[in-house]
Amino acid sequence: MRIVTRRRFGWPDLLFGGFLIVVAAGTLVATRNLVGGTAADMGPGYMPRAIALMLLAFGVFFAVRGVLRGPVGIETVQLRPILGVGAAVGVFALLIESGGLALASFAAILIAAVASRESRFFEVILFGLGVTAAAVLLFVKALALPVSIWPW
């Protein structure tokens, strides 16, 4: 007597791996005409291809894990984190030019804190001030990017 078993996959890993593979393949196709160069003399296509190859490796890893792993349930979608982080990114994008880096960073951190029920107001304020100061020091002072710090 032959026993037939139905193969089930770990769909979250399999789908995530497939997504990463598609993104990596799209990036490799989009950068096919750019000069790659070498690590010592990087061309415009070097970093996008390097990142795409890393994404491809992670995608293959997750896809294989999804095929080999048994079924894993997909948790219900939580809207609060999705909306909180999405709103934070949107506010940052809207404020970066008109409000400056400091205001945009601080506002994005405050809004992103809404995504977690565990956020504490005082800790979020301190964290926001620290990350904002680090962003200003890194992007404006260390890298000398032409980004305004304040709206004035």
Q: Where are the domains of the chain?
A: 11-68, 79-142
Q: 23 burial class (0-12, 13-18, 19+ CB within 10 angstroms)? A: middle
Distance from C-alpha of 26 to C-alpha of 19, rounded to nearest angstrom? 11
pLDDT at 42: 82
pLDDT at 146: 83
3-state DSSP assignment of residue 28: helix
With a cut of 50, say whether residue 4 has pLDDT above it. Answer: no
Distance from C-alpha of 80 to C-alpha of 112, rounded to nearest angstrom? 10
pLDDT tens, position by position, 21-47: 999 999 999 998 888 888 788 888 889
Once rounded to an integer, what is the mean pLDDT over residues 128-150?
88
pLDDT at 143: 83
Separation of CA 65 from chain center = 21
Q: What token pair was written down for 88?
A: 């934070």
* 2-6, 72-76, 100-104, 113-117: the lowest-pLDDT one: 2-6
pLDDT at 152: 75
The mean of the pLDDT values for the chain is 87
